[in-house]
Amino acid sequence: MEEIPILKVGRCLLVSIQIDMHDRLAMALQDDLTRRLVETRARGVLIDISALDLVDSFIGRMLSNIAAMARVLDAHTVVVGMRPQVAITLVELGLTLTGIQTALDVDRGLALINRLIDAEGEDGAGGAQ
């Protein structure tokens, strides 16, 4: 059974997508992440896509869905490591990745998430944006 590992690092869940995901696997990741967010009460989700050589509309929608669900569960999502050719293609395809924050690499992504959490206070700020 294929599965993409989800690691808890501090207040964050860390996912590094290392394989060319088919659509069912992308859906499974979305479900797993939501479940783990509730279980661990993590306040951030960091998704590393530096190994992905393509983000099409399905994967883009998965990333947006994860960000939206995380927000409802009081967590911030940051996507890191997008390759330049993937970014160029995304824009031409017409995807905007609504609600997703990005950072260049994992270090900067974690720093961004920690700033976002700290700005809200440890207990969370409910629906604050």
Partner 1 sequence: MVQVERNSTLEVRTPEDVVKVRQEVRNRTAAVGFSLVDQTKFVTAASEIARNTIDHGGGGVAQIETINTAGRRGVRLIFQDQGPGIADIKLAMQDGYSTGGGLGMGMPGSKRLSNEFYVESTPGQGTRVTLVRWKSN
Identify which of residues 61 and 108 has a Cβ nearer to partner 1 in the complex. 61
Tokens representing residue 128 in the block = 């604050």
The least CB distance from residue 6 to partner 1, in Å, is 21
Residue among 94 and 126 whose Cβ is closer to partner 1: 94
Least CB distance from residue 4 to partner 1, whole Å?
14
Give min distance, CB of 42 to partner 1, in A.
Answer: 27
One DSSP character per residue, 49-89 reads -TT-S---HHHHHHHHHHHHHHHHTT-EEEEE---HHHHHH
Say how far apart CA 115 and CA 11 lie, in whole Å. Answer: 12
Question: In the complex, which residues of this chain contact partner 1 (CB under 8 A)?
Answer: 20-25, 53-58, 60-61, 84-86, 88-89, 92-95
Q: Facing residues of 120 across strands?
A: none
